[in-house]
């Protein structure tokens, strides 16, 4: 396979859950693709569907109450329609995931070395000792000091950052094609966050692992992402390269997100700007554009659902906003000037 080939292709993914209150459309027609070695950030607030998208690719949202439609190919293998057993073989080995809270993501009653080895043994036919030795090597490679002794420790004997390193070591143990990191730094101290991000970026470079980084932290995105997908209310509202999203954002929601970040390179205002209102209910989402009720630029046309397309001219930059290009540029102007 060429170095630039698509390793993951998601097409029209829809996920909804039957709840007592009704049908919750958590993910609504999400499509994106991932190149080999690329870091794709999926950005959005809580309930935007970013985690559900990732978990669905892993097959972790399957259940009696879930309805999943669409397609997703990992290196040519279909994920959505795969049987549980087919998916189990892919899971961990080719598609691995790091979770948000390292404090609770490891089983408290087993040694961390064994937990890493367990994953290797689930996919490779090797001896236990060998898997154990590999686990120690992996722990070394993610920068855990004294890995040989630490492998015999239990999760509670590790700090949050170290646990997240263990999770990363585990996720990388079988050299997956794609690594999904679901808010990997949210639960960590700021100083540790930077270390963990750097680690993920390094590993991404070194092993050419394509990475999906799910986050609500634009600082994190700016640091390591190549491309960005912005999600809102279960839909992608904008997608493009890092530069496009940060310098020519097309969607008012993206403006709002960018506006609510503390910036050291700008004069300090009294308060950070915030996006007014509440995230949309996924039970009864607003008609048309989901961001309409909170959008200061909303007009009549916004009651119709906008499609995700290249509206600005650059075919790689897609957005879901009816505003004419001139108005977008004008609305963005004070932002750029500041």
Partner 1 sequence: MVFVLLAVSILVFFIFNVLPGGDPAVRMAGKQPTETGIEAIRQEWGFDEPIWVQYATTMEKVFTGDLKSYFTQLDVVNEIWKGLPRTLWLAFGAMVIWMIFSIALGLFSAVRAGRTSDKFLTVLSLIGISMPVFWIGALMNHYLGFKLGIFPNGGYVPISEGFFDWLHHMILPWTALSILFIGVYSRILRANILETMNEDFVRTARAKGLSERRVMLRHVLRNSLIPIVTLWGLDFGAVVGGGAILTETVFGLQGVGQYAADAIGQLDQPPLIAVTMFGAFMIVFFNAIVDILYARLDPRIRLESSGSM
Binding of partner 1 at residue 17 (CB under 8 A)? no
Locus of tokens 């009816």: 322
Binding of partner 1 at residue 50 (CB under 8 A)? no
Q: How many residues line the site for partner 1 (CB under 8 A)? A: 27
Whose CA is closest to 119, among 158, 79, 163, 172?
172
Residue 94 CA to residue 32 CA, distance in Å, equals 18
**Neighbour-count burial of 279, counting CB atoms closer than 10 A to its CB (0-12 exposed, 13-18 middle, 19+ buried):** middle
Residue 212 CA to residue 97 CA, distance in Å, equals 9
According to CB under 8 A, which one of 68, 90, 136, 321 is a site residue for partner 1? Answer: 90
Q: Which 271-310 residues touch partner 1, going by CB under 8 A?
A: none
Binding of partner 1 at residue 329 (CB under 8 A)? no
The nearer residue to partner 1, 11 or 118, going by C-beta atoms, is 118
Contact letters for partner 1, residues 142-171 (x by CB under 8 A): ------------x-x----------x--x-
Query: Per DSSP, what are the bridge partners of residue 319?
Result: 238, 309
Q: Which 115-144 residues touch partner 1, going by CB under 8 A?
A: 118-119, 122-123
Whose CA is closest to 82, among 66, 93, 71, 97?
71
Q: How many Cβ atoms are within 10 Å of 180's Cβ, its own excluded? A: 26
According to CB under 8 A, which one of 58, 169, 203, 214 is a site residue for partner 1? Answer: 58
Whose CA is closest to 114, among 138, 127, 98, 131?
131
The nearer residue to partner 1, 133 or 174, going by C-beta atoms, is 174
According to CB under 8 A, which one of 18, 107, 205, 260 is a site residue for partner 1? Answer: 107
Locus of tokens 């209910």: 281
According to CB under 8 A, which one of 77, 88, 216, 305 is a site residue for partner 1? Answer: 88
- Residues of this chain that interact with partner 1 (CB under 8 A) are 58, 60, 84, 88-93, 96-97, 99, 101, 104-109, 118-119, 122-123, 154, 156, 167, 170
């Amino acid at each position: 396979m060429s170095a630039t080939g698509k390793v993951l292709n998601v097409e029209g993914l829809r996920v909804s859950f039957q709840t007592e209150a009704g049908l919750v459309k958590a993910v609504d027609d999400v499509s994106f693709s991932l190149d080999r070695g690329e870091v794709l950030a999926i950005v959005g607030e809580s309930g935007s569907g970013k985690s559900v998208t990732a978990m669905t690719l892993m097959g972790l949202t399957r259940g009696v109450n879930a309805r999943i439609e669409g397609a997703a190919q990992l290196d040519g293998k279909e994920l959505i329609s795969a049987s549980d057993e087919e998916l189990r073989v892919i899971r961990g080995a080719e598609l691995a995931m790091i979770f948000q809270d390292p404090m609770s993501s490891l089983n408290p009653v087993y040694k961390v070395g064994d937990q890493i080895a367990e994953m290797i043994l689930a996919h490779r036919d090797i001896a236990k000792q060998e898997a154990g030795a590999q686990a120690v090597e992996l722990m070394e490679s993610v920068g855990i000091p004294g890995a040989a002794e630490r492998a015999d420790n239990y999760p509670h004997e590790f700090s949050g950052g170290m646990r997240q390193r263990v999770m990363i070591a585990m996720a990388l143990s079988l050299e997956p094609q794609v690594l999904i990191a679901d808010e990997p730094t949210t639960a960590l101290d700021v100083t540790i966050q930077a270390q963990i991000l750097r680690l993920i970026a390094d590993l991404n470079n070194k092993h050419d692992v394509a990475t999906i980084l799910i986050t609500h932290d634009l600082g994190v995105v700016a640091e390591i992402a190549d491309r960005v997908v912005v999600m809102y209310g279960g839909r992608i509202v904008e997608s493009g390269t890092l530069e496009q999203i940060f310098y020519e954002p097309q969607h008012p929601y993206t403006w709002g997100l960018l506006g609510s970040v503390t910036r050291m390179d700008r004069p300090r205002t009294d308060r950070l700007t915030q996006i007014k209102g509440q995230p949309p209910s996924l039970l009864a989402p607003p008609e048309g554009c989901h961001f309409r009720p909170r959008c200061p630029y909303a007009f009549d046309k916004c009651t119709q659902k906008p499609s995700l397309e290249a509206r600005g001219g650059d075919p790689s930059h897609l957005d879901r906003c009816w505003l004419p290009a001139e108005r977008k540029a004008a609305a963005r102007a004070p932002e750029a000037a500041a």
